């Protein structure tokens, strides 16, 4: 298992109630499942609309089960942003 940090931004931060927290997971799917368990409710809905960066690289349309997490890595949770 890899250990790292999940950083929540904007609506995801508000829904989680924290700006960041640790993860212990092999894949993005595992890390997000654990986040949903820790923060049931609004975060579950917000995560459905989010995009994700893993150590600065966009996940894009890749299946979260195939996105491996590195030891000491960072998952950025980015809800859609308004404005221009």
| CATH architecture assigned to 2-78 | Roll (3.10)
Q: Residue 82's pLDDT is what?
A: 59
Residues 33-67: tens digit of each pLDDT: 999 999 999 999 999 999 999 999 999 999 999 99
Residues 59-84: tens digit of each pLDDT: 999 999 999 999 999 999 999 875 55
Q: What is the pTM of this model?
A: 0.93
Closest C-alpha among 62, 60, 63, 59 to residue 74: 59
CB crowding 15-43: b at 16 or more within 10 Å, else e: bbeeebeebebebbebbbebbeeebeeeb
- The DSSP bridge pattern shows strands 57-58 and 51-54 to be antiparallel
């Amino acid at each position: 298992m890899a250990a790292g940090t999940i950083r929540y931004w904007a609506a995801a931060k508000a829904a989680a109630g924290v700006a960041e927290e640790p993860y212990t997971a092999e894949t993005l799917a595992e890390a997000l499942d654990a986040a949903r368990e820790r923060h049931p409710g609004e975060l579950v809905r917000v995560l459905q609309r989010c995009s994700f960066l893993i150590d600065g690289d966009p996940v894009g349309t890749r299946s979260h089960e195939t996105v491996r997490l590195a030891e000491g890595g960072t998952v950025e949770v980015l809800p859609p942003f308004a404005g221009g």
